[in-house]
Structure 1
């Protein structure tokens, strides 16, 4: 499969940096609709927007409703009235919420004029909002990688050239590095991974991991699900799939390397042997600001590296024997069809089971492997959103069965004293 670019549908990278959408909004500002506004990415995005009132304005907010107080503060701070809450009870408590219920977010997108839609929702429930944002013609600043991983070809078919811009630091880095060459000059892409809190641990050590330990990331401040996915390396598996879908590079030309300092966010190696890397201290405001303003940069979005101070950057291979999540993702991606949706849905169920003490930490990826092993029926490409939803539903049910069969007195209970 050749690299996407120069007009291929859905491609974030175009060699000259051109984007077809958006045009500047009111008074030269870009109108931004923030989905998942109360989460880690959403709150940081609102800080970026507030710090750059000449560049951006908020025209709508969407959230699930769990952090209702935060959403109500955001409503006051931004002055917006276009707000969606998917939880009916939370919407009733808040009062004066124009969009509520399961389809609230898609209705908000359809009825709000925006230049940029930031999808920072968590999980595969972001798929329909992603498709609605693309249909609206707005640029999609995509933090909800699960919607691209699950929707795959459906999302790419819905997107115009240059319409999707990634928020993940790794893919933002790749988009920047790829400006240094043409598609046929790319030899391989290199994703970096911090290694998570359990870098260097053995498989036996992982048997005793608790949710509290898995929730402590060494370099990044993220939401709880992303932090857990980073600990299991499932997040890097999702990013591997996302890289292939965004940039069209075959899986065998996408490498993953552990870089504990999280300064180099990704690299591109070209056919002449040169490698271009993007470096910056770990701060999500940098890729957020770039996604909002793409292809223009936002001055002062984050601090830069201080090369006047001694420092060491380390790189080491990923131990796939202890952390098999990335290779499982590679297998799912190479198989194609709805297999990546199965991978993601199985993980969401297994991760929840770990957080609630029903399985041990290694069983998260073990559950994904078990579900993928029986998922041959989902190898055909999805024709509709319902095909993706059916695959996810099947994967969740299979994952739930696997969890139910697990020892109820698992590793977590033994460590936490709940056994």
Structure 2
């Protein structure tokens, strides 16, 4: 099946790899969006000829419009442009690869139209997963995960006739660049060290999340929403080799695992072709060249972000939006050199303790909690019970 795809976030790491997959499979691109990378977005537009291109930054959109004046590509800007891309006529699939809460509204807009959403945006499910999945159910839309861990679980569940047969979802984590270090050692790590992931090449924010283990906490919350599984049936193991991408344990004690190279093009492709499989550009896994596969328990004492995410998941309501918003603000400050690495969990903890939680939130409640959490983590520093 040839899909007509609106790619939100085409200039980021996932976006660029998505275009490789789309081109290899012969799919059509209807829309491309970026923040403000005009140069790359122009190149992509000239190659893939979408009907619409969007820059979140209005000045960047104005510049792009001038550069694309000799083409038939329409140019829009801001959230209105993103929503237009998600709802564009003759689009059947929206691949959401933007970073942060900006992906929530266009994802909901696509699901309201009954479209497939290939989701590479964690924040959408972390902050508003129940709302997103209910919209998909009500409108006949599909949410197919792109994250390697959730794609692995999704694949391992394909032969499952009854979710009651599932005992446990097991998410694997590389442990990031600081695995084995103690809190005192982590206080002085640099941005460059945090961005030096041992296995994956990813964007800056998600790479820092991997280093703090927040990334795995966010994925636990995603799993709860995607698969309607309670927290006590989801666990995390450290798997340094990043060859097993996640596992599903069944009630008869069988465990199914999905293995592959550290190549995001495979989960991207499966999100577009499911339920079919076709040849694609992802690298094959050479079993004879694999190192021994190891597994260890996560270290929540020295990497408290995972425990903070679990707390937010247990609390529910807008607590997960607070967790995510505070983390985004704190990571942004760390990347900008304003705070140290160890300050990230402390700022997230403060937001979780001070921002009120709405138990059964509306979209407005979720957006408000996100904004309050960002304000909380966006200034100052604080002590923590993790000290």
TM-score, structure 1 normalization = 0.86
Q: What corresponds to 1:285 in structure 2?
A: 265
* 1:119 alignment partner, one of 82, 96, 115: 96
* 1:83 alignment partner, one of 36, 53, 67: 53
User: Distance in 1 between the 2:290 and 2:323 partners?
Assistant: 41
Offset from partner CA, 1:249-291 (integer Å, 9 cap, x none): 1101100000011000000111111100000111000000000
User: Distance in 2 between the 1:324 and 1:252 partners?
Assistant: 18
Stretch of structure 1 that moved more, 347-356 or 161-170 = 161-170
* 1:36 alignment partner, one of 3, 6, 9: 9
1:308 aligns with 2:288: yes
User: Distance in 2 between the 1:273 and 1:397 partners?
Assistant: 46
Task: Give secondary structure in 1 for the equivalent of 2:90.
Answer: coil
Give yes or no for contact 2:113–2:141 (8 Å, CA) kept in 1: no
Q: What corresponds to 1:199 in structure 2?
A: 179
Give yes or no for contact 1:153–1:381 (8 Å, CA) kept in 2: no
Give yes or no for contact 1:174–1:268 (8 Å, CA) kept in 2: yes
1:273 aligns with 2:243: no
User: Distance in 1 between the 2:307 and 2:110 partners?
Assistant: 31
Q: What corresponds to 1:387 in structure 2?
A: 365
Q: Which has the higher contact order (CA 8 A, sep 6+)?
A: 1
> How do 1:196-275 and structure 2 match up within 5 A?
196-275=176-255
Give yes or no for contact 1:99–1:108 (8 Å, CA) kept in 2: no
Q: What corresponds to 2:147 in structure 1?
A: 168
* 1:135 alignment partner, one of 99, 102, 112: 112
* 1:108 alignment partner, one of 85, 105, 115: 85
CA drift of 1:310 comes to 5.7
> How do 1:15-34 and structure 2 match up within 5 A?
24=1, 29-34=2-7
User: Distance in 1 between the 2:224 and 2:325 partners?
Assistant: 19
User: Distance in 2 between the 1:94 and 1:305 partners?
Assistant: 40
Give yes or no for contact 2:13–2:202 (8 Å, CA) kept in 1: yes
Offset from partner CA, 1:69-92 (integer Å, 9 cap, x none): 110000011022311111100011
User: Distance in 1 between the 2:43 and 2:97 partners?
Assistant: 18
Give yes or no for contact 2:14–2:264 (8 Å, CA) kept in 1: yes
CA drift of 1:133 comes to 1.1
Give yes or no for contact 1:60–1:112 (8 Å, CA) kept in 2: no
Task: Give secondary structure in 2 for the equivalent of 1:141.
Answer: strand
Task: Give secondary structure in 2 for the equivalent of 1:315.
Answer: coil
User: Distance in 2 between the 1:51 and 1:304 partners?
Assistant: 16
Task: Give secondary structure in 1 for the equivalent of 2:272.
Answer: helix
1:347 aligns with 2:327: yes
Pair 168,177 (structure 1): closer, same or farther in 2 beyond 3 Å: same
Q: What corresponds to 2:127 in structure 1?
A: 150
CA drift of 1:156 comes to 1.6
CA drift of 1:162 comes to 6.6
Aligned alpha-carbon RMSD (Å): 1.5
Give yes or no for contact 1:37–1:61 (8 Å, CA) kept in 2: yes
CA drift of 1:136 comes to 2.0
Q: What corresponds to 1:61 in structure 2?
A: 32
Task: Give secondary structure in 2 for the equivalent of 1:314.
Answer: coil
Task: Give secondary structure in 2 for the equivalent of 1:393.
Answer: helix
Q: What corresponds to 2:315 in structure 1?
A: 335
1:49 aligns with 2:29: no
CA drift of 1:355 comes to 1.2
Unaligned runs of 5+ in 2: none
User: Distance in 2 between the 1:147 and 1:336 partners?
Assistant: 15
CA drift of 1:406 comes to 5.4
Offset from partner CA, 1:231-262 (integer Å, 9 cap, x none): 11111111110001000111011000000110
* 1:93 alignment partner, one of 60, 63, 67: 63
> How do 1:358-369 and structure 2 match up within 5 A?
358-369=338-349
Task: Give secondary structure in 1 for the equivalent of 2:241.
Answer: coil
CA drift of 1:111 comes to 3.0
User: Distance in 1 between the 2:223 and 2:190 partners?
Assistant: 30
Give yes or no for contact 1:335–1:379 (8 Å, CA) kept in 2: no
